[in-house]
Amino acid sequence: MKHILPAVLLAGFAFSSGELFSACASAQAIQESFEPHPSTQAPSVRVTLKTLEEWESSLSNWGRWGQNDQRGTLNFITPEKTRQAALLVEDGVTVSLAHFVSEEEAVDSQTFGPTEHWMTSVDPNTGQPRFALDAISFSLHDGQLAHMDALCHYATQRAGKAIIFNGYPQDLNNDGCTGDLAVDDMGPGYVTRGILVDMPLLRGVEWLEPGTPIYVSDLEEWEAFAGVTVGPGDVLLVRGGRWAKRMAEGPWHYGRGGAGLHASVLPWLKAREVALLVGDAVNDVQPSGVEGVNRPVHTMTQVFLGLPLVDNGYLEDVAREAAKRERWEFMISWQITAVPNGTASPFNALATF
């Protein structure tokens, strides 16, 4: 592979620097083996390293919004798009798309660092809180936190240097992404149209089994079923049923075996001009079915399309409300927490019907 490389390559799979920590920790925590879904090798959808290399140019949005752009495809959310989204509100019913961290010791919890919650004003003699004041510490890429990745999160290698979207160098140090495309550069927040793709509903199951790939044909079958068409400036929310499965059967290493989008959807995402992609797991089907790259959707969207991703979105409540109304488009709004030089922001999003 010539170009598509996150920060570290280990055992034939591509990882960002944060993913490397998670992979090592989870390997010690649990031994689960997953194989790529056989359908990913079908000639009609198979993606190779050569395919990805060609897409680096043909799918690139570098320079599309100017040489100083910090927002990527979020630029598709125009004032007019926001006004149109507001008109979708009919019932005034709002549900959250957020999922917060947990102190639970599980394979999908505290994957990139410990979660700690403590009272900050404690009587040294009694050990009891003196005031209702507390603090919390957690990883922005925690396996249970719904979070929007900053565009500085993934990089490609060019001439021995790590390069991020728009051709910027990936300037990383102990203070975070100190150059371009940190999460605090990506705007205060957005309001636009959200479209939910509920694959378990379409397939008549409670959740998709781990490793189930979602293809363009699935997305377009959903469009026909739901009577919607994904278009410029939309937020595409793809439900695989991760949280429903976890509730029924408990946690598992969804980052190794999880339903999600197959890499062959990348040209479709570019053509439809999706502004933000939200999944209830890691967005990529795991394993990816692309030899040598574990998360090609992550890498290609963030580095070349400039399309931010949300991992671990909580899509159970919005799925229930959408099915009740048989209406899978709604107004979606979210605020970006301006973490200085941050690689992500908690996804504090709302869907309003």
**10: confidence class by pLDDT, cuts 50, 70, 90:** very low
User: Which pLDDT score is estimated for 8?
Assistant: 31
User: Which pLDDT score is estimated for 32?
Assistant: 72
Q: Is residue 3 part of a domain?
A: no
User: Which pLDDT score is estimated for 18?
Assistant: 40
User: Which pLDDT score is estimated for 16?
Assistant: 43
Q: Has residue 251 got a pLDDT over 60?
A: yes
Burial class (CB in 10 A: 0-12, 13-18, 19+), 65: middle
Return the ∠ at Cα 347 (arms to 25 and 177), rounded to 5°. Answer: 65
Q: Has residue 93 got a pLDDT over 90?
A: yes
Q: What is the pLDDT of residues 275-327, one digit of tens each?
A: 999 999 999 999 999 999 999 999 999 999 999 999 999 999 999 999 999 99
Q: Is residue 169 part of a domain?
A: yes
Q: Is residue 61 part of a domain?
A: yes
Mean residue pLDDT of the chain comes to: 92
How many domains does the chain fold into? 1
Q: What is the pLDDT of residues 279-289, one digit of tens each?
A: 999 999 999 99
Q: Is residue 179 part of a domain?
A: yes
**171: confidence class by pLDDT, cuts 50, 70, 90:** very high
Q: Is residue 2 part of a domain?
A: no
Domain membership of residue 254 as a residue range: 8-352
User: Which pLDDT score is estimated for 13?
Assistant: 29
Give me the mean pLDDT over the 185-199 stretch: 98
Q: Has residue 224 got a pLDDT over 60?
A: yes
Pairwise CA distance, residues 288 & 115, whole Å: 29
User: Which pLDDT score is estimated for 31?
Assistant: 54
Give me the mean pLDDT over the 146-153 stretch: 98
Q: Has residue 28 got a pLDDT over 60?
A: no
Q: Is residue 86 part of a domain?
A: yes
21: CATH: 3.50.30.50
Burial class (CB in 10 A: 0-12, 13-18, 19+), 268: middle
Q: Please name the residues in contact with 176: beta carbons below 8 A apart, sequence gap of 6 or more.
A: 182, 339, 340, 341, 342, 343
Q: Has residue 29 got a pLDDT over 50?
A: no
User: Which pLDDT score is estimated for 247?
Assistant: 98
Q: What is the pLDDT of residues 119-134, one digit of tens each?
A: 999 999 999 999 999 9
